């Protein structure tokens, strides 16, 4: 996997769209949908250190606000040492980033996100 510093401009609107959907679902009290959007943000931002760290910060806050101790505690090592995976070139493609999945487990990327990522990387 290639390492990137900056998210490609064509991908940024999709990343922001998922963040907006997360915030909307959160405000509406639809926590399961809010979490799904955070997972999608993680998939889109995973190869990019700034965006990747930002989503883990949001996941930590989600865990704290929902009093989900497991999630909050599970996000701490991801925030503290997640960058090591970037430097080592060990980004587990498709991983949704939550404490419910091992940090190094690759996962299938949803079809719509595959198309978005492919399109953004071809520009």
Per-residue pLDDT reduced to its tens digit, 46-60: 888 889 999 999 999
Q: What is the residue-averaged pLDDT of the chain?
A: 90
Helix, strand, coil percent values for the chain (each to nearest 5)? 65, 0, 35
- Report how far apart, in Å, the C-alpha atoms of 4 and of each of 34, 81, 87 are: 27, 18, 10
**Per-residue pLDDT at 37:** 98
**Per-residue pLDDT at 121:** 79
- 54-82: burial string, b at 16+ Cβ within 10 Å, e else: bbbebbbebbeeeebeebbebbeebeeeb
**Per-residue pLDDT at 1:** 47
Q: How far, in Å, CA of 81 to CA of 85, rounded?
A: 8
Mean pLDDT (whole number) for 35-43: 97
Q: Which pTM does this prediction carry? A: 0.90
- In the chain, where are the structural domains located? 14-87+108-121
Q: How far, in Å, CA of 94 to CA of 106, rounded?
A: 6
Q: Which residues contact 91 (CB under 8 A, 6 or more apart)?
A: 1, 3, 46, 47, 85
């Amino acid at each position: 996997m290639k390492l990137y510093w900056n998210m490609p401009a064509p991908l940024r609107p999709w990343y922001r769209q998922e963040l907006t959907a997360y915030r909307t679902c959160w405000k509406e009290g639809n926590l399961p949908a809010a979490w799904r959007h955070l997972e999608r943000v993680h998939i889109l931002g995973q190869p990019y250190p700034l965006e990747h760290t930002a989503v883990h910060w949001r996941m930590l806050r989600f865990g704290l606000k929902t009093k989900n101790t497991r999630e909050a505690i599970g996000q701490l090592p991801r925030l503290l040492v997640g960058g090591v995976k970037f430097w080592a070139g060990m980004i587990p493609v498709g991983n949704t980033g939550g404490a419910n999945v091992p940090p190094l487990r690759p996962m299938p990327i949803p079809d719509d996100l595959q198309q978005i990522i492919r399109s953004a990387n071809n520009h």
